[in-house]
Amino acid sequence: MPRGQNERSRKNLKPFKPGQSGNPAGRKTAGATIREHMNAMAEADLTETQLRTIARGKNEPWPRRAAAERILRTLEAGDLADFQTVIAGEKTLAELRDEGVNTELVKKVKPVEHGVEIELFDRAGGDVDRIMDRTEGKPKQTREIKHDVVLRTPDDRAAEATSAGDRLRQLLKPSRN
C-alpha cells in the first residue's frame, strides 16, 4: 500500500481551520539569523583573522558573512575617546592620523565657538541596522504628556454660560452718546 493511503494514518490528519497557519512561528527573518550568528561569534571569541576568513569565505552562508562583516566594522571603527584632543582643539586630525589613530570614520571637522564639532560617517552598517529594526522592532519611544484637568459640574457650566452671556450683552449694548 502506498505511503499515506492507510485508513488509520488518514484518521490522524486534522485539517487547518480557515486562516490558520501550519507554521505559526513562521520562517526566521534575516535579521534574527544575523543576530544569532553575531552572538555565536562573540561566544566563540574569534580573532580578527578568523572573522576576516568568515567574511570573505565564498562558501559561508550570507547571514554568517554579514555578521562577521558587521563585527569587523565595529572593531575597525575608531573610539570616540581618541578624538577628545581634536574636540578640545589641542590636536588636528592629521596629527592623530600620524599617531596611528584610525580617522576613517570622520566625515568632517568643523570649528565652533567652544572647540570643534566632528561629523562621523555611519560605519556601523546602516543596511544591517534596518534589517535589525524590522526584526527586533525599533526602540519604544514614549512621550509624557502633562495636562491639568478641571472637572466642572453642570451648575458650574451654567454659571459660566450666564456670565459669558452677561459680558456679551454688555458688549452689544448700544452706547448712548
Cβ neighbours of residue 33 closer than 8 Å, sequence gap 6 or more: 63
Q: Round to whole Å and give the CA distance between 102 and 69.
A: 18
Answer whether 0.75 is exceeded by the pTM: no
Last residue of a domain, one of 8, 42, 76: 76
Q: Is 165 inside a domain boundary? A: no
pLDDT of 124 > 60? The answer is no
Q: Is 86 inside a domain boundary? A: yes
pLDDT of 133 > 70? The answer is no
Q: Is 11 inside a domain boundary? A: no
Q: Round to whole Å and give the CA distance between 138 and 9.
A: 46
Last residue of a domain, one of 76, 99, 133: 76
Q: Is 101 inside a domain boundary? A: yes
Are 83 and 102 contained in the same domain? yes
Are 84 and 107 contained in the same domain? yes
The per-residue pLDDT for 34 is: 85
Are 96 and 84 contained in the same domain? yes
Q: What is the mean pLDDT of residues 76-94?
A: 78
pLDDT of 88 > 70? The answer is yes
Q: Which three cell numbers stand for residue 12?
A: 490522524
Are 36 and 72 contained in the same domain? yes
Q: Is 20 inside a domain boundary? A: no
The per-residue pLDDT for 10 is: 72
Mean pLDDT for the chain overall:
77
Are 37 and 63 contained in the same domain? yes
The DSSP call for residue 148 is -
Q: Which domain holds residue 52?
A: 28-76
Per DSSP, the three-state class of 112 is strand
Q: Is 110 inside a domain boundary? A: yes
Q: In 123-134, which positions are buried (b, 16+ CB within 10 angstroms) versus exposed (e)?
A: eeeeebeebbee
Q: Is 106 inside a domain boundary? A: yes
Split into its structural domains, the chain has a count of 2
Are 104 and 72 contained in the same domain? no
Are 32 and 72 contained in the same domain? yes
